[in-house]
């Protein structure tokens, strides 16, 4: 554990993850790809949990239409760079966490450098071209990749660990159609919280991960379904590596 003030900050959490788990969180380095609805929930909970280094990546500015779900931001942030506003909010929440804002577009060319030197990648993106690029870069380096996606009152999450589970392209072989996705803000909170939980479990070694399984959230019926997934032998990214 850390100094007295930090001990008190994490006192009730350390009762769950243990002092060793809390120390592991403090040493961890993660990437949160996307600073929107999912990214807001993920980043706030990861910072509050004391994950030591958070690299948050996005290329957009805050718009009024973001504010129904992107809880990192306030009305006064409209027009600001998302990553800059996000970093300020996260540092205010937990000054003991190092936040690295990176304003860039995630592409096949940039993905490799964005995952360099980290222990975990969290997918909070809103398009599958960027998701595939980042997931492939993480897969090649053996870095766990926690995927989440939302649509309206529905969402999904899974944890991909190279060599132990199917890759993202196995799970979603073809991207959904482009276009603005309808989203209720609380849905991003549900899925983002699940992703943050998976990150904490992955770092501390506690609990059972959503590896080889996809969790589907149905907010209309307040129902959760968890289904096993198989690797695709024809997958161009991993060749069904979990078989």
Q: What is the pLDDT along the chain (243 residues), one digit of tens a residue?
A: 344 577 899 999 999 999 999 999 999 999 999 999 999 999 999 999 999 999 999 999 999 999 999 999 999 999 999 999 999 999 999 999 999 999 999 999 999 999 999 999 999 999 999 999 999 999 999 999 999 999 999 999 999 999 899 999 999 988 887 767 899 999 999 999 999 999 999 999 999 999 999 999 999 999 999 999 999 888 888 876 654
What is the SS3 assignment for 187?
Answer: helix
Residue 99's pLDDT is 98
Tell me the pLDDT tens digit for each residue of 187-217. 999 999 999 999 999 999 999 999 999 999 9
pLDDT of residue 7: 82
Helices 185-204 and 11-27, packing angle to 10 deg: 70
User: From CA 120, how far away is CA 72, in angstroms rounded?
Assistant: 21
Instruction: Give the ranges where the chain is alpha helix by DSSP (H).
Output: 4-9, 11-27, 37-49, 82-93, 111-114, 128-140, 168-171, 185-204
Give me the pLDDT at residue 69, please.
Answer: 96
Tokens standing for residue 133: 């690029």
DSSP reduced 3-state for 90: helix
Residue 221 in contact with residue 42, Cβ under 8 Å? no
Q: Which of 32, 12, 34 has its CA nearest to residue 22? A: 12
- pLDDT number for residue 238: 84
> Which CATH number is 4-228 given?
3.40.50.720
Instruction: Write down the pTM of the prediction.
Output: 0.94
- pLDDT value, residue 83: 98
Give φ, ψ of 112 to 5 degrees.
-60, -45
pLDDT of residue 174: 86
Give residue 175's pLDDT.
84
- Angle subtended at Cα 128 by Cα 181 and Cα 210, rounded to the nearest 5 degrees: 95
Q: How confident is the model at residue 242, as a pLDDT? A: 53
Q: How far apart are the first and last CA of the chain?
A: 40
């Amino acid at each position: 554990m850390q100094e007295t003030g930090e001990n008190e900050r994490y006192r009730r959490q350390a009762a769950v993850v243990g002092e060793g788990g809390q120390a592991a969180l403090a040493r961890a380095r993660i990437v949160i790809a996307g600073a929107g609805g999912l990214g807001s929930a993920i980043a706030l909970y990861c910072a509050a949990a004391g994950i030591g280094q958070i690299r948050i990546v996005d290329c957009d500015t805050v718009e009024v239409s973001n504010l129904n779900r992107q809880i990192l931001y306030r009305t006064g942030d409209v027009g600001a760079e998302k990553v800059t506003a996000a970093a300020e909010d996260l540092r205010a929440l937990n000054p003991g966490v190092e936040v690295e804002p990176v304003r860039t577009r995630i592409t096949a060319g940039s993905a490799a450098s964005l995952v360099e030197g980290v222990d975990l990648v969290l997918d909070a993106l809103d398009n599958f071209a960027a998701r595939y690029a980042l997931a492939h870069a993480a897969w090649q380096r053996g870095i766990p990749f926690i995927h989440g996606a939302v649509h309206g009152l529905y969402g999904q999450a899974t944890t991909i660990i190279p060599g132990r589970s199917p890759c993202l392209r196995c799970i979603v072989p073809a991207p959904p159609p482009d276009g603005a996705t309808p989203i209720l803000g609380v849905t991003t909170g549900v899925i983002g919280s699940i992703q943050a939980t998976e990150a904490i479990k992955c770092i501390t070694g506690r609990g059972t991960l959503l590896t080889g399984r996809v969790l589907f959230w149905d907010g209309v019926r307040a129902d959760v379904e968890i289904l096993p997934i198989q690797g695709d032998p024809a997958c161009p990214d991993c060749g069904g590596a979990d078989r």
